[in-house]
Amino acid sequence: MTTLFDSISIGDLTLSNRVFMAPLTRNRAGPDGVSGNLAATYYAQRATAGLIITEATQISPMGKGYKDTPGIYTEEQVLAWSRVVESVHAVGGKIFLQLWHVGRISHSSLLPDGTQPVAPSAIRARSQTITNEGFVDVSEPRALTLLEIKQTIDDYAVAASNAKKAGFDGVEIHAANGYLIDQFLESTTNHRLDLYGGNAENRTRFLCEVVEAVLSVWDASRVGVRLSPFGTFNDMSDAKPEETYLRAVDDLNQLGLGYLHIVEPDPKYVTTTDTQKFLFQKLRKHWKSVYVVNGGYDLARAESALSSGYADAVSFGRLFIANPDLPVRLSLHGPLNVPDTETFYGGGNRGYIDYPNWVNDNPSNL
């Protein structure tokens, strides 16, 4: 019976356990998108994860949507990330970079020359972002032209190449949570009348072309994709989610990716309906390689998901923020630190690298 603490392979990469660290935006990079000096410590502290997936990292200046988030498009950003990777590898960890373009979830003050955000269609989100002025409503976007779509896809390839230069073990493509790729996927945010809009086949085209661009740089087994069927964050919804996401998963299956990362509703805040459960089960059955789930999992739910075959690995978010040694705590049924929500986004050491390590502080627990 598979457990969280069994090893797992993604292509030729062997991971020590199935406790993955989910991508977690922390807003601690500089205004130039360079990862802060504390980031190397933060990620190294969490290197006992089977796999670390970094915070979402913008692929270009137009991909930025929040204050003080990191990028992967300048030499300085690549160098800063290389230090993070070195610190994780030095203690035996594995780390993937999450590639990100926010699309319409941005504000003009965050973008070059105060320009408008871009999106599949000029539909403003009922959502907010973080700027130097605090939380503000996102700006109205404009629709990408076909030429700009091609340039954005090229930006993903360049970012993927930069991630390889920085020494990452692989990359995850962020196609969830209401950001650009998700905006192309879902019917309420994509009203295009060209080859990127309309039916599910067209709406998944941008996702597939982005993945193909990344595969021009990385072996497919070192690439994952994150999706969020039924996600409502950032003002998202889809008229026919089963049709959309089964099409997306079938298309991605043809590309031989290392894993699929599915965001489910967190049961602490939302009740998963029978319809949603049915689709998640279908996606699991359709997917041909490693299947990773996320969504407020605790130890009991995670172990059940693995032992039943519903998932191959589980990613944890808030628990990893507060518990740098989470896999050890879970394996020994140790106490869990409570995350300080006030320090999630921005700041310094506090709530970032100062959470106690249970084993280091109490070696007798081993």
Residue from 332, 297, 301 nearest 316 by CA: 297
Nearest to 56 by CA among 197, 233, 253: 233
The residues, any chain, with a CB within 8 Å of residue 10's CB and separated by 6 or more, are 51, 170, 221, 222, 224, 258, 259, 289, 290
What DSSP letter does each residue of 305-359 carry, written as one string? HHHTTS-SEEEESHHHHH-TTHHHHHHTT---PPP-GGGSSS-SSTTTT-S--HH
DSSP state of 108: G
Tokens of 360: 């280091």
The residues that are catalytic are 179
Q: At 85, is the secondary structure helix, strand, or coil?
A: helix
Taking the C-alpha atoms of residue 59 and residue 73, their distance in angstroms, rounded to an integer, is 6
DSSP, res 144 = P
- End-to-end, the C-alpha distance of the chain in Å comes to 24
Distance of alpha carbon 75 from its chain centroid, rounded?
23
Angle between helices 241-253 and 205-215 (to 10 degrees): 20
Would you call 246 helix, strand, or coil by DSSP?
Answer: helix
Tell me phi and psi for residue 261, to 5 degrees.
Answer: -115, 110
Burial class, 312, CB count within 10 angstroms (exposed 0-12 / middle 13-18 / buried 19+): buried
**Cα→Cα distances 198→3, 204, 250, 294, Å:** 42, 10, 18, 29
